[in-house]
A and B are shown apart, each in its own frame.
Chain A
């Protein structure tokens, strides 16, 4: 977690309206929030995150405003106010969620308009507001916000007194729009997913934050504990995941965040203002001369991104300081993110980048112009990288696969399952359920059994039905415990006497995950055990009728042919119910 706001950080300003705005903070520039006002970026630099500021009125002769940190006590004052229960909750809610048109109080010039007749409350006793609250409210608002509140108070003081409480209550909420506050948040993956979901959900396959969390868990994403660029003995490297990402890089970012390779280590000039052992431990030791490792050369904690265009689309990583076309050599993704095309993986020799460019002897090279020499070296280095990444990917032994792509999962798994080490997790995300029900079906118990029968039949040449490869686009015995799931977080409002789920939220794609584990079947004939034996006993003592016994015997026979999968409890319960 970032300790303080550093220059060139991407930060998020959260406005009272709920608007989230990303900006890159540059020293000695002004930040302007529309009619809220303009202030210097220097007022935020070096300060902690998560502070809420209020833009103060400009002093005479100044082009920008000062900021005031709003203390939490002031921020929380409103929510702590214990009001009399409001029986008619729906009314309250409606006013809260309106966008200002229905319930306009203050016009552009600050005059009170009161366009909405909701302000004339029929039953004011439900809208009690204590005098303390009103005082608190006045205190809370300074600058133009304060003015507005004052005006509203003045305006409704003409109303009956009991109404004034309720009006004040509403005003308190509505002035959120006018009190010129904002909160500074760090731009991390969760925040970016939230912003993208609002702005451009299709670009990120409508992937919600709760689903990102599930993906990271089921794919067992973590730091390997080994930082070095050299692999552990006897392994390809520790912590290597294979990724397909059609979310513009959001999934890569989420995984990288969990692997500790998303955020550049702090090398900026502005050190934290409070000395803290934990942060100084973070900064790298001053090295006499920094030799940057080659691009995509790390062996531990790596993500290998397979893409179907010439270039991967991971442009969202720019928010974390990584640009694929021009990576900063100090960014961890520069070494830890590896990219290759499907062609480079499956038919490398057909890719010209994979083919070795001709070597030029040193003597000849020395005679070349420096530009040409540079181009030659660049070409060689690119070839070396492409070849290295393609070869090590083809060698497999990956620790897991995460797929968030529009491609058809079955074909992808058919090619990639062999590249996973045994026991490695497989996670496939889809915004809609259909591609994943199809995938689940490819691993159904019955299909698996048919596959094994088919393979055995082909080997032994018994009279089994012909084995049609098309029915088995992926070897169903390579995946254990296939599972389909979905999750959705529902937000609640928690206020004294007014606690309830939010009245509205975003619809759209539900978002599903297929998960499973890459395994290797034992050689030879394998038969399941379990219910099978219990049944036999039951059946033997059963006198309740031939049909029942026949059924049980059938099931038993069925169990016996089940070759690669244990009884799926869910399925069995379902069948038993029928």
Chain B
């Protein structure tokens, strides 16, 4: 129905394609966003991604199954040609000579690789360029869960900042692209507000680049002053997320008085995200004054755990990443007895040779390839990766505090007329004496 390519965030398809955002996973905490391009024939070297894990021409990343491991490339012919020129002593053999007629040929490098992953909000959050503080995966997951954001919902977000929350919210509301015959359903949308012009432009550009136009609308606006209303019928939001320094200044614009930015037919859910407790207190007081209810506040503690094998034994002496202390009383005794014997043996020789390591220390040459190889062989023989005890600990650096999360709801407006209509429709018979089918709740029914 439309030539529109679906966003790689929602429907990546089986393979990478020109124009799609791809995440190059360099390692667990290093994700690199790249928009894949067919190489420019006049300057093929321009479409090469250089990382500290090697170089990757776009051609090696394009039209391959997502999730593939791609080995780094190196330029062969060009370098060779350059080398030749230099040897011949050609004067114009500048190191970055670009108008070489030989088109460069890439060949597989001896080491280095990346994995090409389809983009997700998680990878984007990990790899995006920070223009501001961002909301990370644990927080936005909790926020979107507690706000009950679902496909087809409309969400207001301010400020857009670096667009981290924006992408997660877009995924949560997404229920189809506009103009694709999906009008029967309500289309989910994110209305994002940002008053910092360059940031606003950046987020807008990213949204376009990521195929999210129509799902996310980025508005350049100061929401403290101008609020969120975008016309008589928009945005009609079901949920609101405020990541602003002074959310209480924006709250007054989220009222049900027309023109209201809120969906008149649903309860509005809100979350404000503030690092300081004073901000929370002001926000909560304002929420209470403005008639929001079910106000709760949380902070989220999130930890990642490292898992490793803890190897403790005298037997591991000489290996790396182990603890070669005695693991038991028996081991301690055996080792001490051994040392006793050695001392006796070498007594009088005038040399202190108490540990095997020292004994073998015969200078640089001795610690050569042979020894490394020996240690590696021993490690393999011992199969250290399945020895010892499996332990886990919290990763080295943790975010002990991100922000406080304040949640509240604003029920629908309900007029006297609404109530009248309802009373007529659901009239209560006064003569009802039969209690058949009545639902009873004892309040001592405390086990719920």
11 new A-B contacts, CB < 8 A, other than A42-B426, A47-B422, A546-B363, are A19-B445, A25-B439, A76-B291, A198-B448, A199-B447, A217-B122, A225-B6, A529-B54, A529-B72, A557-B373, A574-B306
A554's contact among B109, B307, B320, by CB below 8 Å, is which? Answer: B320
Decide if A488 is an interface residue (CB 8 Å cutoff): yes
Determine if B440 and A32 form an interchain contact, defined as CB atoms under 8 angstroms apart: yes
**Chain B residues near A69 (CB, 8 Å)?**
414
Instruction: Please provide the chain A residues from 551 to 578 with a CB less than 8 Å away from any CB of chain B in the complex.
Output: 551, 553-555, 557-558, 560-561, 564, 566-571, 573-575, 578
Determine if B142 and A34 form an interchain contact, defined as CB atoms under 8 angstroms apart: no
Nearest-CB residue, chain A, relative to B52: A530
Determine if A19 and B443 form an interchain contact, defined as CB atoms under 8 angstroms apart: yes
Complex interface: stretch among B40-48, B261-269, B336-344: B261-269
Instruction: Please provide the chain B residues from 135 to 153 with a CB less than 8 Å away from any CB of chain A in the complex.
Output: 137-138, 140-146, 148, 150-153
B299's contact among A64, A209, A492, by CB below 8 Å, is which? Answer: A492
Q: How long is the Cα–Cα vector from A273 to B52 in the complex, in angstroms?
A: 62
The smallest beta-carbon distance between A139 and chain B, in angstroms, is 17
Determine if A465 and B439 form an interchain contact, defined as CB atoms under 8 angstroms apart: no
Q: How long is the Cα–Cα vector from A273 to B171 in the complex, in angstroms?
A: 31
**Chain B residues near A257 (CB, 8 Å)?**
150
Determine if B151 and A484 form an interchain contact, defined as CB atoms under 8 angstroms apart: no
Known contacts A19-B448, A225-B176, A441-B390; A278/B263 CB under 8 A: yes
Determine if B438 and A29 form an interchain contact, defined as CB atoms under 8 angstroms apart: yes
Complex interface: stretch among B87-95, B179-187, B347-355: B179-187
Known contacts A49-B267, A213-B142, A423-B118; A31/B438 CB under 8 A: yes
Instruction: Please provide the chain B residues from 409 to 448 with a CB less than 8 Å away from any CB of chain A in the complex.
Output: 409, 411-412, 414, 418-419, 421-422, 425-430, 432-433, 435-448
Known contacts A234-B14, A274-B264; A222/B441 CB under 8 A: no
The smallest beta-carbon distance between A8 and chain B, in angstroms, is 12
Instruction: Please provide the chain A residues from 22 to 58 with a CB less than 8 Å away from any CB of chain B in the complex.
Output: 22-36, 38, 40-43, 45-52
Complex interface: stretch among A124-132, A307-315, A364-372, A514-522: A514-522
Question: Looking at chain A, what size class is its interface with the partner chain?
Answer: 35 or more
**Chain B residues near A226 (CB, 8 Å)?**
11, 176
11 contacts between A and B (CB under 8 A): A21-B445, A30-B439, A34-B444, A46-B421, A52-B293, A209-B146, A213-B142, A484-B304, A491-B296, A494-B284, A569-B27
Determine if B144 and A213 form an interchain contact, defined as CB atoms under 8 angstroms apart: yes
Determine if A494 and B295 form an interchain contact, defined as CB atoms under 8 angstroms apart: yes
Decide if A60 is an interface residue (CB 8 Å cutoff): no
Determine if A422 and B168 form an interchain contact, defined as CB atoms under 8 angstroms apart: no
Instruction: Please provide the chain B residues from 162 to 221 with a CB less than 8 Å away from any CB of chain A in the complex.
Output: 168, 171-172, 174-177, 180, 182-186, 188
Interface readout for A223-240 with B: 1 if CB under 8 Å, 0 if not? 111110000101100100
Interface size on B, residues (CB 8 A): 154
Decide if B329 is an interface residue (CB 8 Å cutoff): no
Known contacts A32-B439, A489-B299, A575-B321; A570/B183 CB under 8 A: no
The smallest beta-carbon distance between A400 and chain B, in angstroms, is 10
**Chain A residues near B425 (CB, 8 Å)?**
45-46, 270, 273
Q: How long is the Cα–Cα vector from A273 to B412 in the complex, in angstroms?
A: 12
Decide if A425 is an interface residue (CB 8 Å cutoff): yes
Nearest-CB residue, chain A, relative to B393: A574
**Chain A residues near B34 (CB, 8 Å)?**
none
Q: How long is the Cα–Cα vector from A449 to B441 in the complex, in angstroms?
A: 61
Determine if B320 and A433 form an interchain contact, defined as CB atoms under 8 angstroms apart: no
Decide if B238 is an interface residue (CB 8 Å cutoff): yes
Decide if B132 is an interface residue (CB 8 Å cutoff): no
Q: How long is the Cα–Cα vector from A518 to B25 in the complex, in angstroms?
A: 12
The smallest beta-carbon distance between A11 and chain B, in angstroms, is 10
Nearest-CB residue, chain B, relative to A439: B307
**Chain B residues near A75 (CB, 8 Å)?**
293
Decide if A333 is an interface residue (CB 8 Å cutoff): no
**Chain A residues near B150 (CB, 8 Å)?**
1, 257-258, 260
Complex interface: stretch among B62-70, B99-107, B247-255: B62-70
Determine if B445 and A49 form an interchain contact, defined as CB atoms under 8 angstroms apart: no
Instruction: Please provide the chain B residues from 6 to 31 with a CB less than 8 Å away from any CB of chain A in the complex.
Output: 6, 10-14, 25-29
The smallest beta-carbon distance between A563 and chain B, in angstroms, is 10
Determine if A19 and B65 form an interchain contact, defined as CB atoms under 8 angstroms apart: no
Determine if B418 and A282 form an interchain contact, defined as CB atoms under 8 angstroms apart: no
Determine if A76 and B281 form an interchain contact, defined as CB atoms under 8 angstroms apart: no
Main secondary structure of the interface of A (DSSP, over half): mixed
Decide if A437 is an interface residue (CB 8 Å cutoff): yes
**Chain A residues near B443 (CB, 8 Å)?**
15, 17, 19, 33-36
Nearest-CB residue, chain B, relative to A73: B291
**Chain A residues near B359 (CB, 8 Å)?**
none
Determine if B72 and A518 form an interchain contact, defined as CB atoms under 8 angstroms apart: no
Determine if B427 and A42 form an interchain contact, defined as CB atoms under 8 angstroms apart: yes
Decide if A384 is an interface residue (CB 8 Å cutoff): no
Determine if B442 and A51 form an interchain contact, defined as CB atoms under 8 angstroms apart: no
Decide if B309 is an interface residue (CB 8 Å cutoff): yes
**Chain A residues near B70 (CB, 8 Å)?**
522
Known contacts A210-B145, A284-B184, A575-B321; A519/B444 CB under 8 A: no
Determine if B441 and A3 form an interchain contact, defined as CB atoms under 8 angstroms apart: no
Q: How long is the Cα–Cα vector from A486 to B143 in the complex, in angstroms?
A: 16
Determine if B404 and A492 form an interchain contact, defined as CB atoms under 8 angstroms apart: yes
Complex interface: stretch among B76-84, B222-230, B374-382: B374-382
Q: How long is the Cα–Cα vector from A574 to B397 in the complex, in angstroms?
A: 11
Instruction: Please provide the chain B residues from 280 to 306 with a CB less than 8 Å away from any CB of chain A in the complex.
Output: 280-281, 284-285, 288-289, 291-306
B291's contact among A72, A218, A260, A555, by CB below 8 Å, is which? Answer: A72
The smallest beta-carbon distance between B386 and chain A, in angstroms, is 6
Determine if A80 and B289 form an interchain contact, defined as CB atoms under 8 angstroms apart: yes
Decide if A499 is an interface residue (CB 8 Å cutoff): yes
Decide if A424 is an interface residue (CB 8 Å cutoff): yes
**Chain A residues near B143 (CB, 8 Å)?**
213
Nearest-CB residue, chain B, relative to A486: B303
Determine if A274 and B418 form an interchain contact, defined as CB atoms under 8 angstroms apart: yes
Decide if A549 is an interface residue (CB 8 Å cutoff): yes
Decide if B372 is an interface residue (CB 8 Å cutoff): yes
Determine if B293 and A50 form an interchain contact, defined as CB atoms under 8 angstroms apart: yes
Determine if B67 and A423 form an interchain contact, defined as CB atoms under 8 angstroms apart: yes
Decide if B395 is an interface residue (CB 8 Å cutoff): yes
Nearest-CB residue, chain A, relative to B69: A522
**Chain A residues near B133 (CB, 8 Å)?**
none
Determine if B371 and A550 form an interchain contact, defined as CB atoms under 8 angstroms apart: yes
Known contacts A76-B291, A217-B140; A444/B12 CB under 8 A: no
**Chain B residues near A575 (CB, 8 Å)?**
320-321
**Chain B residues near A80 (CB, 8 Å)?**
285, 288-289
The smallest beta-carbon distance between B275 and chain A, in angstroms, is 14
Q: How long is the Cα–Cα vector from A23 to B375 in the complex, in angstroms?
A: 68
The smallest beta-carbon distance between B15 and chain A, in angstroms, is 9
Determine if A530 and B53 form an interchain contact, defined as CB atoms under 8 angstroms apart: yes
The smallest beta-carbon distance between B186 and chain A, in angstroms, is 5
A-B pairs with lowest CB-CB distance, top 9: A422-B67, A213-B145, A529-B112, A423-B67, A34-B443, A260-B151, A446-B385, A423-B66, A72-B291
Determine if A480 and B433 form an interchain contact, defined as CB atoms under 8 angstroms apart: no
**Chain A residues near B436 (CB, 8 Å)?**
29
Determine if B184 and A281 form an interchain contact, defined as CB atoms under 8 angstroms apart: yes
Determine if B303 and A485 form an interchain contact, defined as CB atoms under 8 angstroms apart: yes
The smallest beta-carbon distance between B62 and chain A, in angstroms, is 15
Determine if B120 and A220 form an interchain contact, defined as CB atoms under 8 angstroms apart: yes
The smallest beta-carbon distance between A578 and chain B, in angstroms, is 7
Q: How long is the Cα–Cα vector from A294 to B87 in the complex, in angstroms?
A: 75
Q: How long is the Cα–Cα vector from A35 to B445 in the complex, in angstroms?
A: 12
Determine if A222 and B448 form an interchain contact, defined as CB atoms under 8 angstroms apart: no
Decide if A319 is an interface residue (CB 8 Å cutoff): no
**Chain A residues near B445 (CB, 8 Å)?**
19, 21, 34
Nearest-CB residue, chain B, relative to A477: B69
Chain B CB within 10 A, most for which of A212, A258, A489: A489
Decide if A259 is an interface residue (CB 8 Å cutoff): yes
**Chain A residues near B440 (CB, 8 Å)?**
30-32, 38
Decide if B117 is an interface residue (CB 8 Å cutoff): yes
Q: How long is the Cα–Cα vector from A529 to B74 in the complex, in angstroms?
A: 13
Nearest-CB residue, chain A, relative to B68: A520
